[in-house]
């Protein structure tokens, strides 16, 4: 199956800052692909380049086999984009924003009416059509932005951190909508810094410093993770932190409630246990999860 969306060795710089360094990945029809990374990892630059809003320094971006810059008009007919920044007109109502985007896409009145009614229904915005966009909650605003991006029924949808600043209930509803669209065959690329959202994707690419450092099915990546994971219980927190920081075998350490969670290199658990015992704490094996994988790969990449 040909990819619906593809990045091939994308390179993009802003002065001395190299935002993308040979970034490559593909998204297929009916797939939800997560581009996962911290702030300044290159997620937004990658999305803007794939959407044709930025020229790559080198490499290729393709949407349904087309160049989004040279064939921009054709690409826009098949691409829906929901940027991270506010993209609606705050002084227009929900209904007026939808009407504006319907005219932008040159939709016939009957087609616009049918599609807007369906999108208002599935986003649960129907009772609020007269409300101004700048009076909407974060979750309602994001759902309206999504509805506007879907009016022309794109085959490819790109969303840049769509749940940033959104309450938990609205986050869940947005993801339910994405699953519905993917089920209908749409290719969806979503960028996110959240590990729980990464685990919901069919496949993910971990991005750091403008390039992928891991790619695959989230569960498969975790199962193939060969590091050891432990939880630290008891002891003085500052003493434990200092002891862990002094051990080169410790790849990553993060708080987990009142406890610490540590990722160590294979076979190094004994030495870490001794160090924790000296700090008055105990070490207990734990199952690895996606966040452990992510933190370990970030830490290893930082010292590479």
Q: What's the pLDDT tens digit per position in 136-190? A: 988 889 889 989 999 999 999 999 998 887 788 888 888 988 998 999 999 999 9
Are 32 and 223 in contact by the 8 Å Cβ rule? The answer is no
Write out pLDDT tens, residues 200-244. 999 999 999 999 999 999 999 999 999 999 999 998 888 999 999
List residues bridging with 43 in a β-sheet.
none
* Boundary-marking domain end, from 216, 245, 276: 216
pLDDT digits (tens, 9 = 90+) for 259-284: 889 999 999 899 999 999 999 999 99
- pLDDT at 257 exceeding the cut of 80: no
Based on the fold, state whether residues 52 and 136 are members of the same structural domain.
yes
What per-residue confidence (pLDDT) applies to 304?
58
**CA pair distance 126, 115, nearest whole angstrom:** 13
- pLDDT at residue 84 in the model: 82
Q: Looking at the structure, do residues 232 and 202 belong to the same domain, yes or no? A: no
- Number of structural domains (the chain) is 2
Contact criterion met (CB below 8 Å) for 139 and 170: yes
Q: Is residue 302 part of a domain?
A: no
Res 299 pLDDT > 90 = no
pLDDT tens digits, 6-40:
999 999 999 999 999 999 999 999 999 999 998 88
User: Which residue in this structure is represented by tokens 């060795």?
Assistant: 9
pLDDT at 87: 77
User: Domain range spanning residue 281?
Assistant: 226-287
Do 123 and 246 belong together in one domain? Answer: no
* 246 and 164 part of one domain: no
Looking at the structure, do residues 26 and 89 belong to the same domain, yes or no?
Answer: yes
Q: pLDDT band at residue 303, thresholds of 50, 70 and 90?
A: low
135 and 239 inside one domain: no
Return phi, psi of residue 52, to 5°.
Answer: 85, 10
Query: Within this chain, do residues 117 and 246 fall inside the same structural domain, yes or no?
Result: no
* 47 close to 27: Cβ distance less than 8 angstroms: no
* Non-local CB neighbours of 302 within 8 Å, separated by 6+ positions: none
Q: What is the CATH number of the domain that holds 244?
A: 3.30.70.100
């Amino acid at each position: 199956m040909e990819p619906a969306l593809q990045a091939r060795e994308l390179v993009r710089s802003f002065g001395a800052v190299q935002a993308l360094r040979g970034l490559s990945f593909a998204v297929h029809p009916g797939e939800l692909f997560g581009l996962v990374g911290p702030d300044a990892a290159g997620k937004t630059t990658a999305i803007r380049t794939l959407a044709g809003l930025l020229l790559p320094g080198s490499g290729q971006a393709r949407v349904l086999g087309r160049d989004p810059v040279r064939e921009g008009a054709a690409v826009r007919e098949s691409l829906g984009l929901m940027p991270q920044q506010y993209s609606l007109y705050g002084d227009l109502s929900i209904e007026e924003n939808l009407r504006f985007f319907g005219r932008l896409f040159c939709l016939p009145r009957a087609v616009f009416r049918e599609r807007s009614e369906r999108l208002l229904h599935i986003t649960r915005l129907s009772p609020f059509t007269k409300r101004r966009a700048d009076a909407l909650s974060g979750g309602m605003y994001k759902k309206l932005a999504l509805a506007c991006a879907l009016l022309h029924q794109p085959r490819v949808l790109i969303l840049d951190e769509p749940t940033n600043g959104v309450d938990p209930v609205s986050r869940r509803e947005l993801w339910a909508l994405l699953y519905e669209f993917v089920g209908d065959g749409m290719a969806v690329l979503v960028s996110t810094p959240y590990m729980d959202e990464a685990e919901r994707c069919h496949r993910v690419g971990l991005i750091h410093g403008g390039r992928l450092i891991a790619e695959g099915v989230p569960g498969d990546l975790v199962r193939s993770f060969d590091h050891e994971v432990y939880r630290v219980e008891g002891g003085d927190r500052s003493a434990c932190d200092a002891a862990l920081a002094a051990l080169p075998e410790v790849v990553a350490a993060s708080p987990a409630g009142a406890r610490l969670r540590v990722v160590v290199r294979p076979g190094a658990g004994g030495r870490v246990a001794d160090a924790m015992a000296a700090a008055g704490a105990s070490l207990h094996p734990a199952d690895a999860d996606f966040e452990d994988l992510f933190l370990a790969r970030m830490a290893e990449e930082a010292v590479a």
